[in-house]
Structure 1
Amino acid sequence: MEAAAAYRRLLALRPELADSWYNLALMERASGRFPAALEAYDQALVRGVSGPEEVRLNKAVILSDDLARPDLAQVELEAALALAPDYLPALLNLGNLHEDMGRKAEARAAYERALAVAPDDAVALARLAGLARADAATVERVRRALAAPGRSEADKAELGFALGKALDQAEAYDAAFAAYGAANAASRAAAGGLRYDRRA
């Protein structure tokens, strides 16, 4: 609160400081003042903040997650992609937004576009595989991605759950069970392996 107030005082004197508007927007969102955060982001954009696509993405997240305005969030994501067509976070968020709205074809297009930018992206591949019953080629693509060296535990979990779902839909229940088990283990490892201990 004090830091946000200090930024407001600074910006009253020096409104041209685009990065300070950006920082104020972050603080306003963290404090639950979503309209104020959007206004600060708008000021950052007007004043030429570096990385405007990230500002548009941040606005989209507030509009979608905090204010339940997916229509306006989509406008911001499309604006981000107009500025930076290969901006992976905006592509993933756009796919997720379409998926949440039940627009599977648009979600698929966004995830495919994300994979064109980052062919090894675990989130895009897992979300794509989960959109509908996965075909054999998609299952194999997920398996190859899962086996790729250097995958983080979080990526292994994301891909493993997608593989488990695809195998379950294909009625390959033993393989699905094994995939889910490996995904759960990776998820625990990604979280630091914390487990409930009755003795504690």
Structure 2
Amino acid sequence: MKGIFITVEGPDGAGKTSVIERLIPMLKEQLVPALVSTREPGGVRIAEEIREIILDPKNTEMDERTEAILYAAARRQHLIQVVLPAINAGKVVLCDRFVDSSIAYQGVGRGIGVAEVADLNEFATEGLAPDLTLYLDVPAEVGLARIAQNKERKNDRLDQEKLSFHEKVRAAYLTIYEQQPERVLLVDATQTINQVVAVCLDQIKAKYPTVFK
């Protein structure tokens, strides 16, 4: 049996990491297949090292296309070592970010172009797309305010971008949602974290009722 590939997307400050951390034990307890939780960029040694280069605040001279290529490279390695083996073994993969992030951040936010970034990632992933994407939506100013209030968060290179950049990213995500409603489900991330987690869990259960105990 082929596994299920679920991704969680959202602008900075949407609360993806916190939501995923709470979802993992709930899904592990209720899913019949095994659950593999992972993240991008990262998930394996090579991809984690690329992540450090991309997000290091010191790397201000990084070119936009270099950034996009590095994300695609990390994605490829992660895909080969983690995602595809798990899917082929019939497991459920829950991944923090995937190609939609590159479309939103590099394609639109950086202005490289949606088609150009899509083609790059088509090569990197050999056309693999998530079965379900939970998009946590939050206005850019709200997300940035959350980041500013989070004392424990380590600011990265993308956190240094202006509000206009993050507004473009959110607009790109909303376009993806409008264009692919059969895959992308929008979750209002301005709610409390408990409400967001509950909605995400309900959406997954509704989409795949037969894989729950």
TM-score tier after normalising by the smaller chain length = 0.3 to 0.5
Q: Which has the higher strand share?
A: 2
- TM normalised by structure 2 equals 0.33
Q: Which has the higher helix share?
A: 1
Query: Higher relative CO (CA 8 A, sep ≥ 6), structure 1 or 2?
Result: 2
